[in-house]
A and B are shown apart, each in its own frame.
Chain A
Amino acid sequence: MGGQLAKLVARRGRWFIILPPLVFLFLFFLIPFGFALKISFGEAALRIPPFTDLFGRDAAGHLHWQGTWVSYRYLLTDDVYIVSVLYSLRTALFATLICLLVGYPMAYAMSRASKSTQNILMMVIILPFWTSFLLRVYALESLIRDNGLLNTALLQLGVIDHPLRMMHTTFAIYLGIVYSYLPFMVLPLYATLEKLDRSLLEAASDLGSRPWRAFVDVTLPLSVPGIIAGSMLVFIPAVGEYVIPALLGGPDNLMIGRVLWDEFFGNHDWPVASAVAIAFLVLLAGPIAIHQYYRVRQEEY
């Protein structure tokens, strides 16, 4: 018996390694999307569990489709979904660009520091990522609210005579996203810039290229994988961000993450919430595919 088991392990051993994570993630990460898809076609009249089966059998025993597109049709008729999706996409896009503009010079400077300084700087950039996201957003709030430190300081200095309104504005949303996601932009950029072959720059300069030209012609094109990786790591989560618009934004800053949250906890409309989630995922499929492609390619080389 024991000998047989040992033989089985020896022959099929690798499945003992592959199967546990494969099965777990399949069950608890992938299958949930199937349930969301099913429920999004759920009957409007039965919006509380249990949901109807999508396929039923008629009297003759033939399978027939009995799902409904009602939830999806609802998404197109009610402005709030389209408006909030477009607003989220635009906000995430601009926030990603700001992160890139701030993060690129930072990563570039890091990659040109001495090796020991680089290690310390890496640590310094990673550390905020380890500290609570929620608490960092909250920390930002205590900085920018009407009686926060920034306003108090500016009032004391006489720069302004009444507090600037920063909380619950679009500015606060951008500040929140850039602040929270900046390390995600800097680290992949640094990883590509650090691996960059210095001799190429020397060659460019030997051939008479000015530093700025050499940067545009050599460094920038070679850092494109880092730019894309960093941008995806910022853009995709930022589109679905909930905490930042909920804590820092105002009622106008209706991002899709917040709409989804309210749909679930406020309206309890699960089929519609599922439909929003599925539609949102379809929208993000492109960026997610780009992210996957670059990650897989990175693994191969």
Chain B
Amino acid sequence: MDSRMPISLVSVLCLGIAFLYVPILILIGYSFNASALGSVWGGFSTQWYAALLEDAHIRKAAMLSLEIAFASSTLAVLLGTLASIALVRFPIFRGRFLLAGMINAPLVMPEIITGITQLLLFVSMLQLLGWPSRGVVTVILSHVAFCTAYVAVTVQSRLQSADMSLEEAAMDLGATRPRAFLDVTLPLIAPALLSSWLLSFTLSLDDLVISSFVSGPRSSTLPMVIYSKVKLGVSPDINAMATLIIAGVGVCVILASVLMRRAERLREREMQAAGI
């Protein structure tokens, strides 16, 4: 590798990373600030965390968001994995172009357009079919739609790099195609399934715009509650909320990536031992 990397490049990289992290770190710092005024340091305190735990409104919204995120990410992993298998393993089928388009478009579609169009769908469906009325179900359906796209793209690249010859070997040894896929390829793509589940979970947990359009009167999600509080001005308990979410997500992501790297290394060693 090139050890003579110019100082200017290194400093740009460091500054860029600092730019990404400093606001988050400041927010975490503020969450332990005894003073309610953002700019004044009033000493260390965990009072905002206590206030947060007592806030029934936030607690209810958090539980609802966690449920929605769990359901959406699980369904999205199922659908997204099927979509990626279809796109990688079946080179020609009717609707391939459509499917490829529908898993790539949500990645860039402005949320506000997705939100409005899905709201119009649900309203029209309610008129025509009497189902679904806006609430948890509609939020889950729209979250599954955009999460499926993220899952499909992540799993697709993993499937492409998975070695087909292993599956073929299993079939030569008498396994049926589904059996060979489940026993050989599925463990290979499992890390991608896990990381795309986590990604879907956080995307769903974080979504404000689409949820605002498709949710009903009694189904305010956590981001909707946070947004309405933030809109009103400084609210120190949101700093505590943010710290909890960021810490939770950060720990999960780092843990997952460490585990995956370890599994990867183990597999490579096994492959070497097997002489492949």
Contacts and interface: CB of A to CB of B under 8 A. Distances in A.
Contacts of B254: 123, 127
A288 B12 contact: no
Given A131-B250, A296-B100, A49 B127 contact: yes
A136 B23 contact: yes
A31 B160 CA distance: 30
A33 interface: yes
Contacts of B108: 232-233, 236-237, 287-288, 291
Contact of B113 (A131, A141, A280): A280
Interface in B165-199: 178, 198-199
A83 interface: no
Contacts of A105: 8-9, 12-13, 16
B123 interface: yes
Interface SS of B by simple majority: helix
User: Which of A21, A114, A131, A149 gathers the greatest number of chain B CB atoms within 10 Å?
Assistant: A21
Q: How large is the interface on A (under 10, 10 to 19, 20 to 34, 35 or more residues)?
A: 35 or more
A108 B38 CA distance: 37
Interface string A97-134: 00000110110111011110000010111111011111
Contacts of B212: 265
Contacts of A288: 105, 108-109
A135 interface: yes
Interface string A160-188: 00000000000000000001001100100
Given A237-B108, A296-B100, A32 B26 contact: no
Contacts of A232: 108
A41 interface: no
Nearest to B100: A296
Contact of A109 (B10, B120, B205): B10
Interface stretch (A55-63, A64-72, A216-224, A239-247): A239-247
Contact of A26 (B80, B82, B98, B149): B98
Contacts of A247: 230-231
A241 B1 CA distance: 40
B99 A22 contact: yes
B2 A274 contact: no
Interface stretch (B42-50, B56-64, B241-249): B241-249
A148 B145 contact: no
Nearest to B201: A130
A292 B103 CA distance: 10
Given A102-B16, A112-B5, A179 B23 contact: yes
A39 B116 CA distance: 11
- Place the interface of chain B in its size category: 35 or more
A288 B23 CA distance: 31
A109 B13 contact: yes
A10 to B, nearest CB: 9
Given A24-B79, A242-B111, A29 B102 contact: yes
Interface string B1-32: 11001001110110011011111101100100
B205 A125 contact: no
A72 B144 CA distance: 32
B68 interface: no
B66 interface: no
Given A21-B83, A36-B117, A139-B26, A299 B38 contact: no
25 contacts: A17-B82, A17-B86, A22-B83, A25-B83, A25-B103, A26-B102, A28-B145, A109-B13, A112-B5, A113-B1, A121-B13, A130-B202, A130-B250, A132-B223, A132-B246, A134-B208, A136-B23, A140-B23, A142-B27, A182-B16, A233-B108, A243-B227, A247-B230, A299-B100, A299-B160
The 4 closest A-B pairs by CB, nearest first: A240-B110, A32-B117, A21-B83, A32-B121
Given A14-B86, A106-B17, A280-B113, 15 more contacts: A14-B93, A18-B82, A21-B82, A22-B99, A109-B12, A123-B257, A131-B246, A134-B223, A147-B38, A182-B16, A242-B112, A264-B213, A274-B116, A277-B113, A277-B117
Interface of A: 13-14, 17-18, 20-22, 24-26, 28-33, 35-36, 39, 49-50, 102-103, 105-106, 108-110, 112-115, 121, 123-128, 130-136, 138-143, 145, 147-149, 151-152, 179, 182-183, 186, 232-233, 236-237, 239-243, 246-247, 257, 260-261, 264-265, 270, 273-274, 277, 280-281, 284, 287-288, 291-292, 295-296, 299
Interface of B: 1-2, 5, 8-10, 12-13, 16-17, 19-24, 26-27, 30, 37-39, 78-80, 82-83, 85-87, 90, 93, 95, 98-114, 116-121, 123-124, 127, 141-142, 144-145, 148-149, 152, 156, 160, 178, 198-199, 202, 205-206, 208-209, 212-213, 223, 226-227, 230-231, 234, 238-239, 241-242, 245-246, 249-250, 253-254, 257
